[in-house]
Structure 1
Amino acid sequence: MTYVITQPCVDVLDRSCIDECPVDCIYEGERMLYIHPDECIDCGACEPVCPVEAIYYEDDVPDEWAEYTTFNTEFFEMAGLGSPGGAAKVGRAGRDVTPVAELPPRD
């Protein structure tokens, strides 16, 4: 199991979760952040610091955002990142999974 970042993060990119993550498993796309499912240690440090309440334990993702569990996994496949062992090594990916990229911009 892992934590998942969902739709409220799109176009917010607060990054408080990145500062709290002890294993550097939160990666930055163009419009939202993604948690690497193989690198997350399920500590939950990221969840309470998210100002838009976009982070959920995988089993607790609301039905309306269930597809974001898949998006978090697909991001790493699409970006060709594999499991690099830390977001700091990679930097900003500069792209998102197609469903996120195609969302209308938030005001």
Structure 2
Amino acid sequence: MNHVSSDEYLIQLANELQKVLSDCVMGYSIATDEPIERALRLKREITMMGALTKCQYILNVESGQIDTIVTIYKVKENLSSEDQKIYDDWFVKINGVKI
């Protein structure tokens, strides 16, 4: 039986989300409902696993292509209240969202 840890599965989902979004942005697939719905399903599944996603699109001036970057943030567990405050402040600063 091939057992995949939850972290490995999150990475697989993030890689697939990155590919779907990249293909849409670069025009490799037509931005129809199907790939957009697939991206939304992937993002929802990642969120249901307790992680947040951040998607960025950066123009690579040298290649003229748009790089798609998907970052996964897992919420820290079992932190002291002081460490949780530090983590929450960092998370908001990096992502501009509140948890």
Q: What TM-score do you get using the length of structure 2 for normalisation?
A: 0.27
Name the structure with the higher helix share.
2
Name the structure with the higher strand share.
2
* Higher Rg: 2
Higher relative contact order (CA 8 A, sep 6+): 1
